[in-house]
Structure 1
Amino acid sequence: MELNSIQCVSSSDVTDENEIHHHQIQPQFVSSKPHNNVVSSGIHPTTSVNELLECPVCTNSMYPPIHQCHNGHTICSTCKARVQNRCPTCRQELGDIRCLALEKVAKSLELPCKYCSRGCPEIFPYYSKLKHETLCDFRPYNCPYAGSECSVTGDIPYLINHLREDHKVDMQSGCTFNHRYVKSNPREVENATWMLTVFKCFDQYFCLHFEAFQLGMAPVYMAFLRFMGDETNARDYSYSLEVGGNGRKLIWEGTPRSVRDGHRKVRESNDGLIIQRNMALFFSGGERKELKLRVTGRIWKERQNPDGEVIIPNLST
């Protein structure tokens, strides 16, 4: 569904209401402290242990089982299946030969996290390193844009610029917001996603999403907020969303989800303001033939006492 099929009119605490039209990282193997050089068939004497453990196909670190051909060229188990059992170096058949010597060498190594250049100070045994890197706080973030399969990754400042320049996402400052969603023929909308706005609040960034999808057999709309950072920091903030009309209203309060959680994961957990389509059309008034929803909200930072209990919400911007 095209993003410009829905009209979004937005205002914040610092702007007037205006119409808004919405239109892998290859892992780098970080060298550890110098180790004794290893000499084997077809390997130059100055080749480092790190280079020996790099798969020639995917360039990732190799973990058991490490395979080799009859000439001693090695390859990781994942790539072995991809090359039709042919050595990518000499084209000989790989067979089922394990390079047990290289696996033993790997077991003795301690290496820095591959995100050390981003600030991670940790050093791990070779076989623990991979597990850590999948959860490392310094790993890059995925682009949080909804409605497309964007593969861009990076730190938060990089992604903010990417969202602004490449996805033309609306950027606002302030901790309160007011959006109006207008859509003719809303019954035609069965599965659509929009990232409507990125807010800068408390020197942090938050993404507001609005989606239409089927919840079981019921067509619904869902609005939710995601924090551009890790889950630990997301817990420092709370937000509220409110929608209503014809003398009724729905209110949601919760904690923003980290962008580490994809928007599909948030949707599937129902962690946001959910509005059934019939209720949304009731809020819209008229003959229920046009969607006219106004969603307001605010973000605040929780203050905690030494025991970790929330005491007073800080509503300053």
Structure 2
Amino acid sequence: METGGVDSSMLSLNMMEEDEHPHQFSSISKLHNNSQTTTSVHDLLECPVCTNSMYPPIHQCHNGHTLCSTCKTRVHNRCPTCRQELGDIRCLALEKIAESLEFPCRYISLGCSEIFPYYTKLKHETICTFRPYTCPYAGSDCSFLGNIPYLVAHLRDDHGVDMHSGSTFNHRYVKSNPMEVENATWMLTVFHCFGKYFCLHFEAFQLEMAPVYMAFLRFLGDDREAKNYSYSLEVGGNGRKLTFEGSPRSIRESHKKVKDSHDGLIIYRNMALFFSGGDTKKLKLRVTGKIWKEQQNSQGVAS
């Protein structure tokens, strides 16, 4: 299935790697005017230990050497430049200078054209819609980061997730020993429809001491856009069925948060066995579903 193509505009894992310190950023673009002065200020605001830009409180030693608050504990309160004791001296002048600076968002290469004051830039970057996505594949400690097309290729090539085109699906889950329900998770399929991507998850876990199975859909994109879509899930057998209808959750939310919210189709083991024909030796569940796009009213709100 086509995944939208992976071209040279997609970012590699190395390019998209998150900073070690969440309160810092490692790259500042020069201002258009007086670039030489801006470069000098940039150098002053760079921590000599981690080389990231510094935010208040900016510390300094008695000789005027500065460093960020995180690295102050790293160097055991000793100046990394002159080895003098740091104490609790703040470099208020440098903090004040930083207030007058403006810089573009760090995700400018991904499409964000916003420019922010030095001290508000970081807050924007934590919610920027252009920031990279983490891998939504559950059950592994995957550190991948990237945009959506690159993410889809990663799920297909590195995790072996099935790809499917279309807004309807029919999955069959078979387990040889249904009397044992361990904490387990599977990403069954990535769906491509309406020009977007969705991923179907299936869980097995204990809910208040009762063994259950849970299926839910996630949207490969931001939460605001996820609300434009809805989906339904159905499982049944022996003349009975369970249905669920809701909106897919964005992959911006952690897999654990979605699972713990129980926002999906939950099937207790006894009911699952009933759907399987009462066979206690083999569980056979067929999960069907549909994805659709909500109609927008004149205010652009899904209805």
Instruction: Please give the TM-score of this superposition, normalised by the length of structure 2.
Output: 0.86
Find the counterpart in structure 2 of residue 118 from structure 1.
110
CA distance in 2, matches of 1:248, 1:92: 76
Match of 1:217 among 202, 209, 222: 209
Find the counterpart in structure 2 of residue 30 from structure 1.
28
The runs of 5 or more residues in structure 1 that have no matched partner are 1-23, 39-45, 312-317
Does structure 2 retain, via aligned residues, the 8 Å contact 1:240–1:297?
A: yes
Aligned length: 281
Find the counterpart in structure 2 of residue 300 from structure 1.
292
Aligned residue type for 1:248: R
Instruction: Give the stretch that moved more between structures: 126-135 or 301-310.
Output: 301-310
2:230 is the alignment partner of 1:238: yes
User: How far 1:32 sits from its partner (Å)?
Assistant: 3.5
> What whole-Å deviation, never above 9, does each CA across 1:192-248 have from its counterpart, x for those lacking one?
111111111112110100011222222211111111111121111111100011111
The runs of 5 or more residues in structure 2 that have no matched partner are 1-16, 20-24
Instruction: Please give the TM-score of this superposition, normalised by the length of structure 1.
Output: 0.82
Does structure 2 retain, via aligned residues, the 8 Å contact 1:183–1:292?
A: yes
User: How far 1:166 sits from its partner (Å)?
Assistant: 1.1
CA distance in 2, matches of 1:232, 1:300: 16
Find the counterpart in structure 1 of residue 95 from structure 2.
103
Any idea what SS the aligned residue of 1:98 has?
coil
Find the counterpart in structure 2 of residue 17 from structure 1.
none
Does structure 2 retain, via aligned residues, the 8 Å contact 1:224–1:271?
A: yes
Does structure 1 retain, via aligned residues, the 8 Å contact 2:177–2:281?
A: yes
2:197 is the alignment partner of 1:205: yes
More strand by share: 1
User: How far 1:271 sits from its partner (Å)?
Assistant: 1.0
2:169 is the alignment partner of 1:177: yes
Does structure 1 retain, via aligned residues, the 8 Å contact 2:228–2:294?
A: yes
Find the counterpart in structure 2 of residue 127 from structure 1.
119
2:78 is the alignment partner of 1:71: no
What is the correspondence of 1:32-71 to structure 2 with a 5 Å cutoff?
Answer: 32-33=30-31, 34-35=33-34, 48-71=40-63
Find the counterpart in structure 1 of residue 255 from structure 2.
263
Q: Alignment identity in percent?
A: 74
User: CA 1:131 to 1:307, structure 2 compared with 1: closer, same or farther past 3 Å?
Assistant: closer
Find the counterpart in structure 2 of residue 3 from structure 1.
none
Aligned residue type for 1:29: S
Find the counterpart in structure 2 of residue 283 from structure 1.
275
Match of 2:74 among 71, 82, 85: 82
